[in-house]
Amino acid sequence: MSKNMMKAVQIHAYGGPDVLHYEDAPVPEIGPGEVLVRVHAVGVNPPDWYLRDGYSALPPEWQPQLSFPIILGTDISGVVEAVAGDVTAFTVGDTVYSMVRFFSTGESQAYAQYVSVPAEQLALKPAGIDHIHAAGAPMSLLTAWQFMVEVGHEEPNPLQPNPHVPVALAGKKVLVNGAAGGVGHFAVQVAKLKGAHVTAVASGKHEALLRELGADEFIDYTRTRPEDISRDLDLVIDAVGGANSSRFLKAIKSGGALFPVFPLGFTGAEEAAKLGITVSATQVRSNGRQLTELASLLNDGSIQVVLDSTFSLSDARKAHERAAKGHIQGKIVLIND
């Protein structure tokens, strides 16, 4: 393979995991303000399989019109290989991590041996964790942080008229649904870190982990419907989201809030308004400054990255098959070996 070529996971058509192909692709060129990163590990996230199947869950007018082949993936940890002449914040050899160019559908291109990254979206990797754990953090942790602490951008959400505003967490009763997943396990930790009383909702096999991560209470949804036994909550972070999010409204106090991470299909707007409950979401965006702030929390163990499983980059198909089975505990990560 020439020095201008690399291995990457590409798709040439939309479909299931079988459309993922590990093959030769050109090494990306860097433009002004960009850094070339040699990728050591790649985090796997829901937008990866949404893009793989052409965002089929979205209305047709929202589905992206892209040219094949497409390299999937957004979350990387690796080492700086080259920097553009105008980049001063990073130098060759720096260990870094990033959520690359999100939300710009099809432009992130992280399932690869090399990726170009805008410098403002890059941060030094937390020294206290390895590349595999660092690659598991960016999208899921930024989602939790931007929903719960600081949005960090002013991009409008087309699904709601008002900007998303996080709520103060100290002393509040917070319930996290889907607490064992990628966003959920970070949401539990962020809420606890900020002084909330946290109830985690997941299946029973995740209880020990979630209590270790700081959950004060645990509800096994396979045995008990959380909305039937929870009352006077200040905030529900529904990391599952969708049409069923409205079931939590009866468990939230007037003046409280419901933040569905996946807001498509929410049906309880009128009921929420009558109850005085704010329903709000935001779309996670790349932010190197926030990743720098979060690196210190990852470095000292204040926030931990839980790994569900790891696969070789060449086995990205198997990673997507694992994701399709659901009941993920933490993060799936691809290793570039």
* CA-wise closest residue to 55 among 77, 33, 43, 70: 70
User: CA 8 to CA 115: how far, in whole Å?
Assistant: 10
Q: Give the per-residue pLDDT at 2.
A: 57
* CA-wise closest residue to 300 among 186, 129, 136: 129
Do 100 and 83 touch, CB atoms closer than 8 A?
no
Q: Is residue 229 predicted with pLDDT exceeding 80?
A: yes
Do 74 and 48 touch, CB atoms closer than 8 A?
yes
Q: What is the mean pLDDT of the chain?
A: 96
Over residues 173-200, the mean pLDDT reads 98
User: CA 192 to CA 214: how far, in whole Å?
Assistant: 6
Q: How many other C-beta atoms lie within 10 A of the C-beta of residue 219? A: 23
Q: Give the per-residue pLDDT at 234.
A: 98
DSSP 305: P
* CA-wise closest residue to 202 among 301, 46, 322, 326: 326
pLDDT tens by residue, 3-45: 799 999 999 999 999 999 999 999 999 999 999 999 999 999 9
User: CA 220 to CA 235: how far, in whole Å?
Assistant: 19
pLDDT tens by residue, 94-127: 999 999 999 888 899 999 999 999 999 999 999 9
pLDDT tens by residue, 139-169: 999 999 999 999 999 998 888 989 999 999 9
Q: Give the per-residue pLDDT at 62.
A: 80
Q: Give the per-residue pLDDT at 57.
A: 80
Over residues 300-314, the mean pLDDT reads 98
User: CA 214 to CA 188: how far, in whole Å?
Assistant: 7
DSSP 58: S
β-bridge partners, 116: 36
pLDDT tens by residue, 54-110: 988 888 888 888 999 999 999 999 999 999 999 999 999 999 999 999 988 889 999
Q: Give the per-residue pLDDT at 86.
A: 98
pLDDT tens by residue, 231-273: 999 999 999 998 999 999 999 999 999 999 999 889 999 999 9
DSSP 123: E
β-bridge partners, 87: none
Strand 233-238 versus strand 173-177 pairing type: parallel
DSSP 186: H
Q: Give the per-residue pLDDT at 48.
A: 97
